[in-house]
Amino acid sequence: METISKTIFDAVTIGGRKLANRLAVAPLTRVSATETGVPTQEMADYHEAFAAGGFGMIITEGTYTDDLFSKANHNQPGMVNTEQMKAWKRVAQAVHQYNTLIISQLMHGGALSEIAGETIAPSAVQPVGMRTTDSSVPPGPFPLPRAMQATDFEAVKAGYVHAALLAREAGFDGVELHAANGYLFDQFITPHTNLRTDEYGGDERNRLRFLIEVYQAVKMALPEGFIVGIRMSESKVNDLRYRWPGGSETARRLFGILAEINPDYLHIAAEGGRWDRECVYPDGTSSNGIARSILRSPVIANGGMHDVALAEKLLNSGAADLVSIGRAAIASPDWPKLMAAGEPVIPFFKALISPSLTLAHTRSVRGQCNASSLF
């Protein structure tokens, strides 16, 4: 019998919505909102460039959810008030001119907030690593967070629900709850940052409890068809080498519990950009492959997926349904179109994270071209 192999360009369904292909833009913080968290025209332009460039789905950069403790960086966009929502509407409208869905990544920084002042976390545990990403505060250790109390749980949950409602009003197709990379929900999932002795600490079920409660509250508040996905990872922005202590066994237990809610999708991040190092266990299994075998939800793999052979290997082995592309999308917002045409892409380098530099660089590499079709 002839077997038909899957390609990155095949259509796929996620949360009941059809996507043109299996290519998502990974969430990419560009710190280019205003200081009050309002998305700028530049942000509408680079999101539009991803859509015009052929991605089936865009997951926005991490967006803060309340004015209390959630904001992680200066110039991070928020989804907290009407002014921010209206500016996001321009971004969503720009994307929806094309056949592309847009998902808002909702994020609470927890102990890793780089905004000066008090931070909150599951427990008062000093984060490892140094804060370095935000030039407006001096580099150095993260502050010791305050352990969350009942009122904090309520406020964080209310912030997520409100932000998801605003995202819908702005025209987004869904939201992604950021439970990866060391931020608040990941601080609950990770044993050494969660020393709680109540129902939110201890075994995997307790450590996932808050994320699941917020997921369910958001789902309940939003109508059917509004996508609610979850992003998880082992590595963290402040600890790239961190791995779940029990490896594949921990993955099985965590995803077994998540299977009870079957999120609209599960997105597994490799923050350091190396799927083989960050998602593969010594026994040869992978976190996304295990998730795919346990959940009924589509699974998005990440970390070097601009290697098309690797991406299609995962799709065909049943270890993923979609792949998300980060750095390669920054360098070439039209990466899907270039790949489909067999044309060369622009290699990523760090300075390109600044949106204005990307535009200038793209123009200089490709010569004079229609700016609106790029940035």
Please give the residue ranges that form the binding site for ligand FMN (CB under 6 A): 26-29, 61-62, 105, 178, 180-181, 231, 269-271, 273, 302-305, 325-328, 353
C-alpha 248: how far from its chain's center? Answer: 22
**CA separation for the pair 298, 181 (Å, rounded):** 20
From the CB of 105, what's the least distance to ligand FMN, in Å? 6
Identity of the residue numbered 27: P
Nearest approach, Cβ of residue 80 and ligand FMN (Å): 16
Q: State which residue, 44 or 202, has the beta carbon closest to ligand FMN.
A: 44
What minimum distance in Å lies between the beta carbon of 306 and ligand FMN?
Answer: 6
Q: CA angle at residue 187 from 256 to 23, to 5 degrees?
A: 60
Nearer of residues 204 and 234 to ligand FMN, judged by Cβ = 234
User: 326 or 336, CB closer to ligand FMN?
Assistant: 326
Separation between Cα atoms, residue 14 and residue 36, nearest integer Å = 33
* Tokens encoding 328: 């390669």
Report residue 147: phi and psi, to 5°.
-70, 135
- Closer to ligand FMN at the Cβ: 231 or 292? 231
Which one, of 54, 66, 240, 263, lies nearest residue 159 by Cα?
66
d(CA 132, CA 217): 34
CB of 350 to ligand FMN, least distance (A): 8
Q: What is the nearest approach in angstroms of ligand FMN to the Cβ of residue 2?
A: 32
Least distance in Å: CB of 117 to ligand FMN?
21
Q: Which is nearer to ligand FMN, 142 or 348 (CB)?
A: 348
CA 168 to chain centre: 18
As beta bridge partners, residue 143 has none
| Shorter beta-carbon distance to ligand FMN: residue 71 or 178 | 178
Q: Is 197 helix (H, G, I), strand (E, B) or coil?
A: coil
- Token look-up 């292909």 returns 21
| Smallest separation, CB 176 to ligand FMN (Å) | 8
CA-angle at 206, arms to 204 and 209, nearest 5°: 110
Instruction: Provide, rounded to whole angstroms, the least separation between the CB of residue 370 and ligand FMN.
Output: 25
Our CB check for ligand FMN shows the closer of 283 and 309 to be 309
Taking the least distance from each CB to ligand FMN, the nearer of 28 and 94 is 28
Minimum CB separation of residue 273 from ligand FMN in Å reads 3
Choice between 151 and 310, CB closer to ligand FMN: 310
* Euclidean distance between the first and the last CA atom of the chain, given in angstroms as a whole number: 46
Cβ proximity of 96 and 36 under 8 Å:
no
Distances (CA, A) of 88 to 49, 166, 228: 15, 9, 18
For residue 364, how many other CB atoms are within 10 A of its CB?
Answer: 9
Q: Give, for 13, the enclosing helix (H) or strand (E).
A: strand 12-14
Rounded-to-integer distance, Cα 171 and Cα 80, Å = 15
